[in-house]
Chain A
Amino acid sequence: MESTPLDTQTTVESDVATRPEEASLPPLEWMQRNLFGGGQGSVGAVARSTSLTVVFTLLGLFAYQQLLNFIFSEETNWNSVRVNLRLLFTQAYPESDYHRIWVSLGLVLVLSGVGLGLMKVGRGISMKKIATWCVGWGVLVVLGVFLRQPSVLVGDDGTPLLADADGVALARDGLGALVYLDGSPAPSQGLSVVRESYGDAISSRSGWLLIGLVLIGIAAAIWFGFGDKRRRSTFLPAIPLSIAGIGALISTTWWYNWGNYTFSTDEETGVSGFNFEPSVKVAETTRNPWTIMFVVLVVAYVLGRRLRGRAFEQHFRGLLILGWFLAPFVTFFAILRGPEFDWAYVAAVDLPLWLAFGIGGAALMWALTKPGIGEVGRVLAVLVLAIAAFTWIAAFFGWFGMLQKVRLSFLLLGLTALLAPNFIGEARQRLTLVYVWTGTITIFHVMATIINTPSSIEVPTEDFAGGFMVSIYVTVFTLLFSFPLGVLLALARTSRLPIFRLLATVYIEAFRGVPLITMLFFFTVFVNLFLPEGMELALLAAVTIAFVLFSAAYLAENVRGGLQAVRRGQYEASDALGLTTVQRTGFIVLPQGLRVSIPPLVGQAIATYKETSLLAIVGVFDFLRMARDIIPNQPEFLGERKPALLFICVIYFVGAYAMSKYSQRLEKNLGVGER
């Protein structure tokens, strides 16, 4: 059959849409039917539906009006957010090292861009959706223009004009005291601010009005210019559209004057001060990096698109996943932390150790996978594990000094050696294990060396990271460690071995029974008191561990739910095929179970992201603490809490919404709820 564009459309639709799609109604008819109880016949139904619609619309409009009044009020000092953006996002991270942040962001954007390019493309956004979106925002903007109260009139000195209880205007005399215009003293009570007239207010907002009307106009053009069929079946690609949107936003730094709100300290005089210069484009300092970031994103996306469908796509996807796994470690410890290497020590100790374990371990793996090695292999693997265990015991009793890294390397070696029997066979199979070992030990040694090296970032505070940076990294590391732990716990809880079942159940119930904030206090306050004298758990490490343990318990239950959705027949079938327990779990049970648990897993990820705001209570200088405690106690912004709190709400929302959208896409791609 020849495939015409129309044919592909219909096949795609019948493929995806399982429930019949209603033909869209004209807007008026839709409103009558859905908002005002039309089409139901009885008068009572119409009255009920109409009154509900009216009451809740009014409530919504009232909330919207209050929000607008606050955001655009002349009395709301947004400067407290503007000059503190650096503090909010990075705390005291030195400006001279900001290129490290850009490099980290660039790395993440490369991974995201390539990932987006490789992503399975859905249908895109229908014209109907775009029209709805335009009309929604258009109406919001137009309503906002009319709903917001008129602005306060501000005098030449920047303070609002005041009037007495009868509305007679007041002024300030030379000493700053309030007087009537004729110079007589003003009363101290019943004063109110002077607002412009409603007509002036509307005309001064004509720009916004125009934007709103243009959006509604676009919607109308799409609605009336397209037939019903074409509205539903003409699609714009979602990802390029989003990238174009980001590009448009970044392009504003080149032509729109965002103003310059900075805080700086004069190197010579040591005098520091705020700088509010609406005439200078703040963009001048950030537009080059942002533009570079955008180019990086676009190039990565195009690269991803090019790679899609190539023969080596699968390998490339594997690399990408490894990249995502390593990115938090690399950006945090190697880039942002700026390790200051003692190269002599690296050459004398770190390098030889790595070579010894790399080459020696590779040789061991090669030998252990020799066909016909038999029980000797197992004995040796257990021996290595015994050595690893011995090094820990020695450390406990303080018998002889040894680098922590060496102990961990022995442990890794022992664990990898245990895997060896699975790789016995031809050279190719044996080499796989050798590669796995070399890769693991290289990553481990490089990271251990970097983490042990002192930071070169000069900050006036304890930790180099703070603000939103800390919230993000605690979230990412928590997800990275708690996911595997959670899956293991879920498997243990459904295991046939009673001891695993018992331990997992006790763990999960214990950690789900304790509030997160209690765990955080426990780990930040008590653990340090229990540790041996002189040994200390850094605050950020302590809270991350608390988060990981807590989150893993919840993830485990989510995953267990998914595992239970895997049908009995799947287990029986894999048994019939002669798969081992490991193979059955890895290839049959987990892939199906995890797919089902995507929605709760993402829910847990979003919850973790939002719960990082609890860090403010245990003394971490995170996003919330900056907005709640630090900014309102700067003398210039004393008591100014609301703007910063609203701002961090918006940032938290953007992050959580992006995660939720991504999970919806993932569900669609994996066909959750359809198969």
Chain B
Amino acid sequence: MQKHLLLRLLAVLLGFTLVASACGDDDSDSGEAADSEDVVETTQDGSVLAAVVARGELNCGVSGAGVGFSVTQPDGSQVGFDADYCRATAAAILGDADAVNFVPLTAAERFTAVQTGQVDVLFRNTTWTQSRDTDVGMDFGPTTYFDGQQLMGRASDGFSGASGVANIDGAVVCTNAGTTTEKNIADAADAEGISIDLQTFEDFNQVTDAFINGACDIITTDGSALVGRKAEQQPADQEWAIFPATPISKEPLGPTYGQNDSAFADAVNWTVYATMIADENGINEGNVDDAAANPPTAEIGRLLGGEGELQSAMGLSADAFYQVISQVGNYSDIFDRHLTPLGITREGSANAQWTDGGLIYAPPAR
């Protein structure tokens, strides 16, 4: 009697195991160990480019809290210079500027996020440095914005745009902790042989508050941030001045991605170059359709996909850069949309076209 029962129950169990293995073959759910092998294959054997195309969405790391570069709007969307370059990259790879998944990252998280594959590319005002390029294991694309550390003081203390680091002897200089700005200003002061009282705060909002209420004589950070602060926060009864005209440090900001992935690097780099070439030739959002129909030069014809060989060879669709310009715009369009309103100008700065004496220079598309 008992033996029969045991046999019957064993049969039931066997049935379970059969059902389980039958269902187990197509291992598509449970985001855990089992189905992870597919992911490994794409990241190890193929380029991130293939992974992005397969996913249909670009995971783009941004700051989310950088005025002019990537700002989180009240509805949660991202707007800014960096955010637009994310959208441009998505337009080039996927043909749709809206196929971006923005991942706001802190400065501390950003490189880990690339290494673990959480994001495909960073457009997160990240300075290109030797150690990051080599030791940290990142690769950097063409610089989209040449920034540099500057100082801001009050006109009532005698500071003007013509002041220099030599003029701040004995001043209370404030900046935010954990960035290279602290070291840069200390080095600059040493080089000038002056002594300053350097104070650091946790974030730059605190620094600005301290500047407004007089606790700091000078504040210092990247020039683009100072311009935004001056435009938005200068009280009616104060006059602020940004100096020196030549920044005390070089901060080239551009796209950052994992190293040794040429296919993806090419796609990102040439997206940036395409916006610059279009700018150089006066092709913008408004006239790109005409230019695609009747290319003014052979280079523009190739860039906008006339023959399409150049783009196809990269693994992009022939009209990839046409999509970039028509959906997002050229370098000037992007710059004017987000940085000009803050009072940042291209003329005379490193961000002018090379033909105007700036550093915005793209290799030829041929």
Interface residue ranges, A against B (CB under 8 Å): 83-84, 86-87, 91-93, 95, 159-160, 162, 178, 188-189, 191, 263-265, 272, 274, 345, 349, 352-353, 356-357, 360, 363-364, 367-368, 370, 373-374, 376, 379-380, 383-384, 387, 391, 395, 398, 400-406, 410, 448-449, 452-453, 459-462, 466, 525, 528-529, 532-536, 619, 621, 628-630, 632-635, 638-639, 641
Contact = CB atoms under 8 A, between A and B. Distances in A.
B78 A460 contact: yes
B17 A621 contact: no
B103 A462 contact: yes
Nearest to B16: A360
A448 to B, nearest CB: 8
Given A159-B236, A380-B6, A534 B40 contact: yes
B290 interface: no
Contacts, number: 205
Nearest to B77: A460
Interface string B18-57: 0111011111111111101111100110000000000000
B75 A525 contact: no
Nearest to B106: A619
A349 B20 CA distance: 10
Contact of B17 (A191, A387, A452, A534): A387
Interface in B48-95: 59, 64-68, 71-79
B2 interface: yes
A639 B203 CA distance: 10
A364 to B, nearest CB: 6
B68 A363 contact: no
A401 B24 contact: yes
Contact of A189 (B24, B66, B156): B156
B36 A395 contact: no
B29 A452 contact: yes
A387 B21 CA distance: 13
B68 A635 contact: yes
A535 B37 CA distance: 8
B128 interface: no
Contact of B74 (A86, A160, A364, A379): A86
Contacts of B71: 633-635
A70 B83 CA distance: 35
Interface centre among B21, B24, B229, B236 (most CB of A within 10 A): B24
A256 to B, nearest CB: 23
B208 interface: yes
Given A380-B6, A534-B39, A635-B232, 15 more contacts: A83-B74, A87-B72, A272-B79, A401-B34, A402-B21, A403-B29, A404-B30, A460-B77, A461-B102, A533-B44, A534-B36, A633-B66, A634-B71, A635-B71, A639-B233
A188 B239 contact: yes
Contacts of B117: 536
A634 B155 contact: no
Contact of A93 (B72, B76, B209, B236): B76
A380 B2 CA distance: 12
Given A86-B74, A629-B203, A638 B104 contact: no
Given A534-B40, A635-B71, A380 B9 contact: yes
A191 B76 contact: no
B31 A403 contact: no
A648 B232 CA distance: 24
A356 B232 contact: no
B134 interface: no
Contact of A460 (B33, B100, B341): B100
Contact of B19 (A352, A363, A619): A352
A635 B65 CA distance: 10
Interface footprint category on B: 35 or more
A405 B29 CA distance: 9
Nearest to B105: A619
Contact of A376 (B6, B21, B26, B228): B6
A459 B76 contact: yes
A403 B27 contact: yes
B215 interface: no
Given A188-B239, A364-B12, A633-B67, A92 B32 contact: no
Interface in B1-15: 2, 5-6, 8-9, 12-13, 15
A635 B231 CA distance: 9
B179 interface: no
Contacts of B31: 452
A395 B33 contact: yes
B297 interface: no
Given A383-B13, A404-B32, A452-B31, A638 B233 contact: yes
Lowest 7 A-B CB distances belong to which pairs?
A: A92-B76, A404-B30, A402-B24, A534-B40, A452-B29, A191-B237, A263-B74
Interface string B217-250: 0000000000011001100111100000000000
Interface string B103-143: 11110010010001110000000000000000000000000
B321 to A, nearest CB: 21
B101 interface: yes
A460 B76 contact: yes
Nearest to A95: B75
Nearest to A461: B102
A137 B232 CA distance: 39
Contact of B73 (A363, A379, A398, A634): A634
B186 to A, nearest CB: 25
B260 interface: no
A406 B205 contact: no
B75 to A, nearest CB: 6
B342 interface: yes
A400 B65 contact: no
A528 B116 contact: yes
B8 to A, nearest CB: 8
